[in-house]
């Protein structure tokens, strides 16, 4: 694994993490402004933003799908592994952000 690909994995993790954290905080501010409970809204947003964090981290779904297609039909297994690792890193970042927000809000832990 070269340094460029490792850097890509780290960036994917933190982009997904940032989408979750930033989206829920700004959503909580919006909920406060319209008179809804911000912590409850933040808890719900953290779960529903996971897929969008994944899409943002890997740079759109078409590149990842075309890379998987190339790996399957042209026999370049390195593309399949690299794309899988990128998706896994983004999922880890999104899940870490979700767990952090749910821990901070303590909603649904009664």
Q: Which two tokens stand for residue 18?
A: 């940032």
- Give the pLDDT of the chain (110 residues) as one tens digit per residue: 688 889 989 999 999 999 999 999 999 999 999 999 999 999 999 989 998 898 888 876 566 777 777 777 777 777 788 888 988 999 999 999 999 999 998 865 65
Q: Which two tokens stand for residue 104?
A: 């901070």
Q: How far is CA 11 from CA 6, 8, 39, 70, 71, in A?
A: 9, 5, 28, 23, 23
Amino acid 77: pLDDT = 77
Note the residue count of the chain: 110
pTM for the structure as a whole: 0.84
Alpha carbon distance 12, 82 (integer Å): 12
Residue boundaries of the structural domains of the chain: 3-105
How many other C-beta atoms lie within 10 A of the C-beta of residue 108? Answer: 9
Residue with tokens 């779960």: 47
């Amino acid at each position: 694994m070269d340094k460029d690909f490792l850097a890509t994995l780290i960036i994917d993790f933190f982009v997904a993490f940032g989408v979750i954290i930033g989206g829920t905080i700004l959503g909580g501010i919006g909920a406060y402004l319209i008179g809804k409970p911000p912590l409850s809204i933040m808890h719900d947003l953290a779960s529903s933003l996971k897929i969008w964090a994944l899409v943002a981290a890997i740079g759109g779904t078409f590149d990842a799908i075309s890379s998987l297609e190339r790996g399957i039909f042209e026999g370049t297994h390195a593309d399949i592994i690299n794309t899988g690792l990128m998706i896994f890193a983004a999922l880890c970042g999104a899940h870490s952000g979700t767990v952090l927000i749910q821990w901070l809000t303590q909603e649904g832990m009664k």
